Chains A and B, each alone.
Chain A
Amino acid sequence: MFAGAAREAVFSNSDVIRRDNAHFVPVALKAGLVNNPPDDEEGLLYREIGRSKPAPQGICAVNSAGKVLAWSLMFDDDKSVLAFLDHAAKRFSDYPDARKPFAAERYMKYPSMKMDDVEDSGRVLPVPEHHAIGKHCPGAPPIGRGTVLARIFGRALDKNDKPVADTLLQENYIEDRFNIDVPTQENLANALADAGKGPVKLPIEITRQWVKQAYMGVLDVQPLDNPGRIKGELKKCSFTAT
């Protein structure tokens, strides 16, 4: 399941939003942490969650010990999302912790396409109360001093050049962010300093970083930075500063 599909098809449904907030602890995890866990106690928890994953991305419910109650990658329809949440809540009432072993249930599509369960490993992992002293949460890695946080907003326009009302689809609306590190800022400052009074064309090494973030649609595509599948071509990229 693409991340965007979950955003649109699952987490924008008002009933799901209400149910999540009331009956679950919602946690958004980076797939990289589940697929390549850090080498520490927290990493063991990520590894346990990832042990039963049907795909690199998905939605799952876990109990307080970090044991997977159920995974699902897709849902038959809107009602099935709520049914999945009910099902996960029921499993949690049966298995709230690691005292009783239980298998992780997995669905390609809930409820119609069930996959094989993954048996309990039998391991009871320690769940640290907090990160070790001096360690950052891997979900929010540290940002270097002096880094500029840039935010991007993209919105489709209608035929009258007005922003479209529907902002649910990624094709219609995106927000994104990226960091501009200190060396890049210095390069930019040098380019501006060398310009004198006239307009200056900014170096492609700087502006490409900006442009590669600026696309609509499914996040995973990354047209100018795709990891191996599609090689996008930046035909023209010209920024000037005055």
Chain B
Amino acid sequence: MKTMKIVIVAGCIALLCAGTAWAQEATSPPKKVTTPEALRNEIEALKAVKVAWREIAWKSCLLEGLKESRAQNKPALLWVFIDRPVDDARC
């Protein structure tokens, strides 16, 4: 069985500027991140370089989609999903 440790990093400018540290119960002690730059680098290292489903040119506007459907004489393919932003990689 594959053993995994999960690391989740909340990355936002506000958090970086505030220099917050998240104390959590983990399978191993969290690494000490001493500077905003080091935290930013750690976040960057987690990001996937290429996210497959983003290769699809999703629109988020139904009216725009139907307009393009008319203009290009193509059907619109609707992915109806739980409420997340269109470029949300979780969906």
Enumerate chain A interface residues (CB-CB to B < 8 A).
3-4, 6-7, 11-12, 14, 17, 20-21, 23-34, 42, 45-46, 49, 53, 56-66, 69, 85, 88-89, 91-92, 96, 127-131, 137, 139-140, 148-159, 161, 163-164, 167-168, 170, 173-177, 180, 185, 188, 192, 202, 210-211, 213-216, 219-220, 235-236, 238-242
Contacts and interface: CB of A to CB of B under 8 A. Distances in A.
B63 A152 contact: no
A11 B52 contact: yes
A105 to B, nearest CB: 13
B79 A150 contact: no
A36 B68 CA distance: 24
Contacts of A151: 11-12
Contact of A173 (B24, B62, B89): B89
A131 B77 contact: no
A25 B65 contact: yes
Consensus secondary structure, chain B interface: mixed
Interface residues of B, number: 66
Interface of B: 2-15, 18-25, 28, 43, 45-48, 51-53, 55-70, 72-86, 88-91
Contact of B78 (A23, A59, A188): A59
The 6 closest A-B pairs by CB, nearest first: A150-B12, A175-B89, A27-B65, A139-B60, A92-B75, A12-B52
Main secondary structure of the interface of A (DSSP, over half): mixed
Contacts of A131: 63
Contact of A129 (B19, B67, B72): B67
